[in-house]
Amino acid sequence: MSSLLKRLLAVQETGLLIVLVALAIALTAFAGSHVDPRTGETVNNFWNSYTLIQAATDASFFAIMAIGATMVIISGGIDLSVGSVYALSGVSMALLLRAVGPMNPVATTFVGLGTALGVGLLCGLLNGALVVGLRVHPFIITLGSMWVLRGIAFVATGAMSILVPPSLTRVVKATLGLGGGLYPVPMLAMIVCTVIGTIYLTRTVMGRHIFAFGGNIEASRFAGLALRRIQIGVFVVAGLTAGFAAFLGATFYGSTSSGDAQGYELYVIAAAVVGGASLIGGKGSALGAMLGAILIVLIRQSIRTLHFDQNYEWIVIGCAIVAAVVVDQWSSRVTARRLSRGSVAATKQ
């Protein structure tokens, strides 16, 4: 029992999880409650299935992107273009589906998903190839592509909103038997992406190479790693996750425009960093990215739930992000100290 507890405490994400749970408890305690007019039951204003799933849905779109962005950050890079990739993927999908015309739901889903993922992948490939080929820092390349890609979406749509076929929206808004206006698909997609991301990062050759690349590029070169492939790879994954998020987001809301996901890149980077990814590279996790996204959404949610002035939302989020990173750095220093003390004890035995 105690060893299990110790192992749990040693896991990077535990601290974040504790903060999340504490925030959820606090919100539940202070949210107050209302009486449901239909059933006559007393319902907590925060701790009810509708609010919870709504929060998870809000989080899911950029949590999924944050998983990809985390991989870029682990490699020591940064991707500012994910919001634009989202917009371009969503718009391309909607335009293509409109051009093709009505199909059966399965075909629509496949074409829509394929287009969104394909466009995301191409955008990622472009980012990666430019970074590697031109040897320019990812910040600059993706700063450029952030505007270029959104500009393409803007031109392609003529600044209009494009509707997504309702048949597709019904797929993403499937209730899966929950009923009552609850749509769990984006949340489940987020969880699946987190699991896949975790496996990819920790158990595959590619994932392990990303950590080495970000931890020490020179040592990675000396170990014979295919550096270019790794760097292009992380941008491709970031593009893919943005494309997938666009598929979910665009279909969930039923329409897309070139203005979608504006400013998302910063939420996404914030989620990754709050989730423990280090901008120096070499550190981060998919689970952390997801939890980071949820934390940001919960902080936003708490302003609404507790009836604070919504005008203060940005100020609160900004402070919370800095605080979260400072606490994370502090706790990892403490962990490192405990580890080194342990190793000395072990050598003395």
Partner 1 sequence: MTTARQDTTPAVETARAVAVRFEHVTKRFPGVQALSDVSLDVAQGSCHALCGENGAGKSTLGKILAGIYTPDEGRLFVHGRAVNFDSPRDALAAGVGIVHQELVFCGNLSVAENLCLGTLPSRRGFVDRPAMEARARALLAEIGATMDVHRPVADLSIAQRQIVQIASAVGSGARVIVFDEPTSSLSQVDAERLYDLIRRLRERGVTCIYVSHRMPEVFRLCDTVSVLRDGKHVGTHPASELSEGDIVRMMIGRPLAEYFPPPKSTEEGREVLRVQDLTSPGKFQHVSFSLRSREIVGLAGLVGAGRSEIASAIFGLDPDARGEIVLNGEPARIDDPADAIRLGIGLVPEDRKKQGLVLSESCRHNTTLPILERLARLTWVRESAEWQLVREYFKRLGVRARDPDVPAAGLSGGNQQKVVLARWLAANSKVLILDEPTRGVDVGAKAEIHALINELAAQGTAVVLISSELPELLSLSTRILVLREGRLVGEVPGHTATQDGLLRLMAGLAA
CB nearer partner 1, residue 178 or residue 199: 199
DSSP SS3 for 262: coil
Closest C-alpha to 284, from 271, 295, 275: 275
Is 205 a binding residue for partner 1 by CB under 8 A? The answer is yes
Instruction: Name the strand (E) or helix (H) holding 342.
Output: helix 313-348
**Residue in 61, 86, 154, 211 binding partner 1, rule: CB under 8 A:** 211
Residue 254 lies near partner 1 (rule: CB under 8 A): no
203 binds partner 1 (CB under 8 A): yes
Cβ closer to partner 1: 315 or 345? Answer: 345
| DSSP secondary structure string for all residues of 130-185 | HHHHHT--HHHHHHHHHHHHHHHHHHHHTT--EEPPHHHHHHHT--TT--TT---H
Report, in Å, the least distance between residue 340 CB and partner 1. Answer: 4
310 binds partner 1 (CB under 8 A): no
Would you count residue 215 as binding partner 1 (CB under 8 A)? yes
**Residue 14 interacting with partner 1 (CB under 8 A):** no
Distance CA 81, CA 139 (A): 9
Distance CA 46, CA 32 (A): 8
133 binds partner 1 (CB under 8 A): no
> For 160, phi and psi rounded to 5 degrees?
-105, 155
Instruction: Classify residue 58 by its DSSP letter.
Output: H
- For residue 43, the minimal CB distance to partner 1 (Å) is 46
User: Which of 35, 136, 323, 339 lies at the binding interface for partner 1 (CB under 8 A)?
Assistant: 339
Q: Does 218 bind partner 1 (CB under 8 A)?
A: yes
157 near 258, Cβ under 8 Å? yes
Residue 340 touches partner 1, criterion: CB under 8 A: yes
Strand partners, 33: 44
- Of these, 4, 99, 315, 346, which contacts partner 1 (CB under 8 A)? 346
Q: How far is the CB of 345 from partner 1 (least distance, A)?
A: 8
**If binding means CB under 8 A, how many residues of this protein chain bind partner 1?**
31
Place of tokens 């007019």: 37
Task: Work out which of 222, 309, 311, 315 binds partner 1, going by CB under 8 A.
Answer: 222
Using CB under 8 A as the binding rule, the residues of this chain from 257 to 286 that contact partner 1 are: 282-283
**What span, in angstroms and rounded, lies between the C-alpha atoms of 66 and 266?**
10
Of 305, 289, 57, the C-alpha closest to 184 is 57
- Sign of the torsion angle spanned by Cα atoms 333, 335, 341, 346: negative
Q: Does 216 help bind partner 1 (rule: CB under 8 A)?
A: yes
Closer to partner 1 at the Cβ: 123 or 212?
212
- The phi-psi region of residue 177 (left if phi > 0; otherwise alpha if psi is between -120 and 50; otherwise beta) is left
Positions in the binding site for partner 1 (CB under 8 A): 203-206, 208-209, 211-212, 215-216, 218-226, 282-283, 336-337, 339-344, 346-347
